[in-house]
Structure 1
């Protein structure tokens, strides 16, 4: 009988926290590749990468865990409008390449009816290693998220900003939610994608370390256990990225449009500016008393969720907490050029309208998830639907 053992984790370590421009931005989007026959996922990542390699672009285009996914990244940007410019340029090149292959590129946090067991792990050493370690969870990780990096001037500021940002995780989930369907079923969640992330043992929240020295002590304890070797082994909702000099927020579903993705980056940047410049509150362990409850509410109900203020215990509509927060961000959003993106998000909050609602309403009208994906592919291209 063959003995199955988990492979050793890749070597690594805690890198020094690099300098980066405060409030600089970087955005990553994981995208779906679908065929144009039945709009199921299609294993075309290698062909897409080959075609995209010939196109000079900002940022990068790289493979993801399974071969029906692709990840695009901006370079370092100073504003959400620069993020939008780079994402649009990459998006347009992706669409041209996809047309040559007779496939389509789609946003959204989950593919509505793909079967996880049909997926293929992309042939790359780290993905093979993770597949050996995590088994079927690796193929179930065919889910699609947006990551936003925001630059921090030093490591201690990064940790303070990370823990201040934790109160706003429900905002990010509800504003980006675009994964109501899994394996052909309406899950009743606005963001079902995050349920797959929570299955990983090192997911969830970061430990409350407010100085880099304290974080280093924690990291060294974890490496001594042999459970982790590098920061890549943590699947936290927000994690420091010392090699970039950033914190990385990882709870967003991939939106259906690059415009919404850029607007979300402007919201993060405005929040970070408020935290760094005004120091509005000091994070404490008590911030996390209602963290998982608030996160669940946002995943389940989106903009209709209840939000519990960790400082006061007050219950309010998440929608109201988002609007109240946006009011506070005006002095920061304006100088950063983020006002138009926040206005876009604000309008959708006032209408209780996120991408999950758009997908559900379209399915209610069409009664066919393949048609929903076809129209979502048009939406991603920037075409009216």
Structure 2
């Protein structure tokens, strides 16, 4: 076989660098029948009725809808943009006879979901088969601008030890198809079935990632970078590092709190990288990453966090509070201090998965639970 030109073997993937740490987010919402409060396949009628809002987008399943913020310079700009978008979306859903809420999973829906009839999604359906029709999960994704592809991958490695913190704080999926799973984030356990979800590998340079991606494309595993559904991935077209580990939370302000934490944490770790240092949680061996991730999805904030290769651990709540303290100077600089304080007083003490479980224990009704999720979002937007 003749030698191939280097660019044909490993074509360069351009990373559109962001000189500033810009900020953006995506939230996936549940479309509901307002009477039964079960999921409803409403995305087509929603988009056909309101085609002029590109920030409101379809997802794989017809029972979900995603909002995409604009590229923002700071957390307050992001908050204003997302609240406006969600208010628009909620009003449109109501005018079409649908209710709207979000959490990591729908608590009781048991029926298979239908796939949105777009070429990319139909191709995914063909590959995933049965699993695609059970994918009733809803996430929060946060993008932070990176100065280069190399920097994005370096920060990605430094951020991996913090993924259990982000997962435990955002965990909002204790129920699945009418059952209490005893997990804080069962969404993560369902996604673990898939071929390319979970904690990403590490790469030493952008050229290494480009070679890896080309190999996966040659193998037929991916066509574009978005086909890599890791909990944390570079997004070269946006010039961002994208954090995907988090469950969607019931209110916009809770999601904004998590975005503020991600934003502050990534900027802190970028500074560490530029100074040749790690964050206060050093990179771990793969088995520690795997166990900490599993423990956070299972026990949420009550999990233990393994911090060294000998298996020693500390309560995750203590690790979270230590992390907040480390982030104090960066938060002050970025204007996220108040958001992190609210997160600490709210989600650390009243995480969504515990609120949902307690309500079900009090009422015995998952329909009342979904009605409460709808009301929480409505009351949040009314403020």
Scaled by the length of structure 2, the TM-score of the pair is 0.91
Query: Counterpart in 1 of 2:297?
Result: 299
The correspondence for 1:227, drawn from 218, 221, 225, is: 221
Structure 2: unaligned runs, 5 residues or longer = 1-10
Q: Which runs of 4+ in 1 moved over 6 A?
A: 282-285
Alignment of 1:1-385 (within 5 A): 15-54=13-52, 60-117=55-112, 119-279=113-273, 280-281=277-278, 286-310=284-308, 313-348=311-346, 350-351=348-349, 353-383=350-380
Q: Distance in 1 between matches of 2:127 and 2:354?
A: 36
- For residues 206-256 of structure 1, the C-alpha deviation after alignment (integer angstroms, 9 at most, x for no partner) is 222121122222223333333333212211111111111111111110000
- For residues 28-82 of structure 1, the C-alpha deviation after alignment (integer angstroms, 9 at most, x for no partner) is 0110011111100111112222344356xxx711111111100111010122222
Is residue 25–residue 149 contact of structure 1 (8 Å, CA) maintained in 2? yes
Q: Distance in 1 between matches of 2:97 and 2:348?
A: 38
Is residue 52–residue 61 contact of structure 1 (8 Å, CA) maintained in 2? no
Q: Distance in 2 between matches of 1:148 and 1:311?
A: 30
Change (3 A) 1:52 1:174: farther
Deviation, 1:314, is 3.2
Deviation, 1:187, is 0.3
Is residue 14–residue 231 contact of structure 1 (8 Å, CA) maintained in 2? no
Is residue 140–residue 196 contact of structure 1 (8 Å, CA) maintained in 2? no
What is the SS of the residue equivalent to 2:244?
strand
Q: Distance in 1 between matches of 2:51 and 2:310?
A: 52
Q: Distance in 2 between matches of 1:113 and 1:349?
A: 24
Structure 1: unaligned runs, 5 residues or longer = 1-12
Is residue 168–residue 184 contact of structure 2 (8 Å, CA) maintained in 1? yes
What is the SS of the residue equivalent to 2:24?
strand
Change (3 A) 1:287 1:341: farther
- For residues 156-213 of structure 1, the C-alpha deviation after alignment (integer angstroms, 9 at most, x for no partner) is 1100111111000001111111100001000000100111211111222322212112
- For residues 81-117 of structure 1, the C-alpha deviation after alignment (integer angstroms, 9 at most, x for no partner) is 2221111101111121122122211010100111142
What is the SS of the residue equivalent to 1:53?
coil
Change (3 A) 1:53 1:292: same
Scaled by the length of structure 1, the TM-score of the pair is 0.90
Deviation, 1:381, is 1.8
Change (3 A) 1:221 1:122: closer
